[in-house]
Structure 1
């Protein structure tokens, strides 16, 4: 079995610099817990000398599916690093 990375469009809306909702994989999501800021030290990918910052939060879509997301921001925009069910 091999892992396949699929990149989906990700848009995050913030209130007072904290994520409150997002659009990801064609679905609208509400942030349903208190987001945790993630620092550079947790990322397991190369950062090319740039400091990464991101968030971990639980989000629920319109159908009631709930996941935990680790997201990070780069120059090109927001990306999902991991999701947890």
Structure 2
């Protein structure tokens, strides 16, 4: 993270560099208590590995660090 914005990560045994402007995912997407507005927040961004393969990732913070919720090819 640079200034609280994702810039790189290690996932699935590979190093990934964020290659677009990350979008913050708000509470309304991952609410832990429906209807209350309280819940997770996360980020959606495209990242590229050392071989040039790119995916879009949805990530969120957990007690043990950041987690990949979903990735899109």
- TM class, shorter-chain normalised? 0.7 to 0.9
Q: TM-score, normalised by structure 2?
A: 0.86
2:22 counterpart of 1:31: no
Aligned-partner Cα distance in 2 for 1:75–1:51: 14
Alignment TM-score, normalising by the size of structure 1: 0.75
Pair 1:64-2:55 in alignment: no
Structure 2 unaligned runs (5+)?
Answer: none
Q: 2 CA distance for matches of 1:47 and 1:81?
A: 14
Show the counterpart of 1:15: 2
Partner of 2:32: 47
